[in-house]
Amino acid sequence: MKRLIIRYSMVFFLSLVLGVNASFGATAQEINKGVQQALNNLLKTTPSAQVLAKRAKGILVFPKIWKGGFIVGGYYGEGALLVNNNIVGYYKTYAASYGLQAGVQAYGYALFFMTDKALKYLLNSQGWEIGVGPSIVIVDKGTAKSLTTTTAKDDIYAFIFNQKGLMAGLGLQGSKISPFHPKK
């Protein structure tokens, strides 16, 4: 029985990676379009994101992240960093995990860098693991209601959006973010 579970887990994970692989390696133009659409939609539907966007030093947007697993899992997504509404770099986010998990999900997230120090940390690192470095607050409905320009005191605020699919658990802890150069 144990071998059967491991075998099915590996088949599931490989099919996920191979099936979603067609979405990876997007061109710069495709990433730009997805980032702009995702950010515009987030700002239109989330008043607290509008508040933060006015003061943010930079906004890193991952419009679509694919996550899946059965015992063995992982996720991957590509996005871009905007500073003064201009794209200044491209980034990928990814993680692998092992444990009690099952499902497939797609979602996006945006990180609002509120301090020069936090933005410099991202720009100067060749790879960054969320949870190490600047402090991050994940904005949920409760946090969003009380968030104003005077209460926003943390380095980075994260918004998770467009969740589709079924997967137990969703968080950013342990995510790796690295710069990359997309296809032209």
Is residue 107 assigned to a domain? yes
Is residue 67 assigned to a domain? yes
The pLDDT tens digits for 2-11 are 554 555 555 5
Are 59 and 110 contacting, i.e. CB atoms less than 8 angstroms apart? yes
From the list 162, 176, 165, 160, the residue with the least C-alpha distance to 101 is 165
Please provide the distance, in angstroms rounded to a whole number, between the alpha carbons at the two ends of the chain: 47
Counting the structural domains of the chain, the total is 1
Per-residue pLDDT for 62 more than 90?
yes
Is residue 80 assigned to a domain? yes
Is residue 27 assigned to a domain? yes
The pLDDT tens digits for 79-128 are 999 999 999 999 999 887 766 666 778 889 999 999 999 999 999 988 78
d(CA 116, CA 57): 6
Domain containing residue 25: 2-179
Are 101 and 70 contacting, i.e. CB atoms less than 8 angstroms apart? yes
Is residue 134 assigned to a domain? yes
Is residue 184 assigned to a domain? no
